[in-house]
Amino acid sequence: MLNVPSQAFPAPGSQQRAASGGRSKVPLKQGRSLMDWIRLTKSGKDLTGLKGRLIEVTEEELIKHNKKDDCWVCIRGLVYNVSPYMEYHPGGEDELMRAAGSDGTDLFDQVHRWVNYESMLKECLVGRMAVKPVAVAKGYKNHEKKLLNGILLKSQVSDLPAKEISPSYDWFQTESLVTIVIYTKQKDMDSESVIVDYQDGSFRAEIIIKDYSYLLHTELSHEIQEDITVRVAEKTGKVEIVLKKKDNISWKYLGHPLENHNSFTAHRDTGLYYRKCQLISKVDVTHDTKLYCLMLPPGTHLQVPIGQHVYLRQTVAGTEIVKPYTPVLDSLNLDLQEPLHPHNRYIYFMIKIYHTGLFTPHFDCLQIGDCVSLSSPEGNFKKSQLQELEELFLLAAGTGFTPMVKILNYALTNITSLRKVKLMFFNKTEGDILWRNQLEQLADKEKRFEVEFILSEPTSEWTGKQGRISLALLSGFVKRSLENSRVLVCICGPEPFTEQGIRLLKDLNFSKEEVHSFTA
């Protein structure tokens, strides 16, 4: 049973109130929280005005519903009457009205493509857009079909930067193995760019190539064992996915194509794919934050790149709630750090539990062995930003420390040019500092690393620095030691903290390229 008071919910800065990305936040009226919306959708009230009927909507019809009290929006071909949702929209009514009477898919994707609108708005569904007959243009050829080892269609390519970079695939077999080979034609591919899932006979491989995804999605013709091997030849961009046959029989074809099989599309257009992960352990980090270990299912190959996050999804009161989280390591102990090897099935999260929050109290109720859905990774941090770096400054507030964990580890173990890494860590009290002992031990052992804790609500015994992020604090700490040093400043925390930090860094003459901020 959920017991979430509605008065001040969602709190300022809450992900439910406003996502990151510089969009304006609006205070929601009392009784207009997400929980209140969920209650309304379950009340049986007719929210579309169509008494449960679904209709086919023409463009002409859609356009007519463009007022606040009669507002229809189309997302991915489905039309919703969003008028009842207006007052509950965390981004405000005006933001929602930008899509009134039109196709809001692009706008929606720009702002929060990870939000599960199908679940949130299911009671507002009016129907489907009517499909217009498409005139066949002169000279238009039917989809070129090419049979590859028996079954498969040529890439369905959309929005391609250049046709010639479109990947292709082939497969071959031995008595016990099936090897799928993907020719990406891209240099510097690594195993992080390959995400493979095998579940109930369905095989899905997503190869991330810059901002694009090449997808293989097929129902395999025969069963395989769950341990899948991925090999990437970095120089040629050749990806090999090796499947172990369950029965050593000869396959006549690879499988039956499933949705979007053999397609190459902009990454933002491929929906987030989720797989169920098991909770393996949870360990206290502070009074309100824990380290959770999730295990990927055996048929999954997935590595979350440094600086990227995933979405965790659970059903709360019948509605799917999705929140982003940034994986960390199991500790900061560099000696014990295993090389980030591709077969690691454990993913660690450091998550703060907000007792009045929507997602985290439920997440914390999971028992060891329970499952939660985990998406493929997202994020715009690139490892290459650390290449040849000489000085790295990390500014973190609260759980904004999470992306810094892997960055810190990677920088100290891989970047030979690095002279200095400095972490400035803002928290309310001493008890809130995450991995304080580990950070202090690391600073003792690793001369290139320095950490400074700043408290906004210190006790009288605190002898360290105090306050909130300010020019005075930053100017003494975020200082290049040489005029032409190759520098990167990473910043993460509550959105206003991050925004303030970016402004201050600009005042301190750091260029845009020298500052990376983490947002959703």
The footprint of ligand FAD (CB under 6 A) covers 4-5, 8-11, 14-16, 20, 309, 323-326, 349-352, 354, 356-360, 399, 402, 520
- Please, are residues 316 and 362 in contact by the beta-carbon 8 Å criterion? yes
- Please, are residues 276 and 222 in contact by the beta-carbon 8 Å criterion? no
363 is a contact residue toward ligand NAP (CB under 6 A): no
353 versus 451: smaller Cβ distance to ligand FAD: 353
- Please, are residues 16 and 25 in contact by the beta-carbon 8 Å criterion? no
402 is a contact residue toward ligand NAP (CB under 6 A): yes
290 is a contact residue toward ligand NAP (CB under 6 A): no
Q: Determine the residue type at 464.
A: G
- For residue 323, the minimal CB distance to ligand FAD (Å) is 4
Q: Is the peptide bond before 305 cis (omega within 30 degrees of 0)?
A: no
169 versus 381: smaller Cβ distance to ligand NAP: 381
Cα distance between residue 62 and residue 80, in whole Å = 10
Per-residue tokens: 438: 């580990």
- For residue 327, the minimal CB distance to ligand FAD (Å) is 7
Terminal Cα distance for the chain, rounded: 29
Among 213, 403, 423, 515, binds ligand NAP (CB under 6 A): 403
State which residue has the least CB distance to ligand NAP.
Answer: 398
Among 398, 406, 412, 421, binds ligand NAP (CB under 6 A): 398
Which residues are registered as beta bridge partners of 106?
Answer: none
Cα distance between residue 449 and residue 426, in whole Å = 17
Q: Which helix (H) or strand (E) holds 80?
A: strand 78-81
Among 100, 469, 478, 488, binds ligand NAP (CB under 6 A): 469
Q: Determine the residue type at 209.
A: I
Which residues are registered as beta bridge partners of 282?
Answer: 292
Which residues are registered as beta bridge partners of 309?
Answer: 378
519 is a contact residue toward ligand NAP (CB under 6 A): yes
Hey, which residues between 488 and 517 contact ligand NAP (CB under 6 A)? Answer: 492-494, 496-497, 500
- For residue 326, the minimal CB distance to ligand FAD (Å) is 4
Q: Determine the residue type at 59.
A: E
Q: Which helix (H) or strand (E) holds 28?
A: none
Task: From the list ligand NAP, ligand FAD, none, pick the one residue 457 interacts with, judged by a Cβ distance below 5 to 8 Å according to partner type.
Answer: ligand NAP
15 versus 81: smaller Cβ distance to ligand FAD: 15
Residues that bind ligand NAP (CB under 6 A): 13, 309, 326, 352, 397-400, 402-403, 426-428, 432, 456-457, 468-469, 492-494, 496-497, 500, 518-520
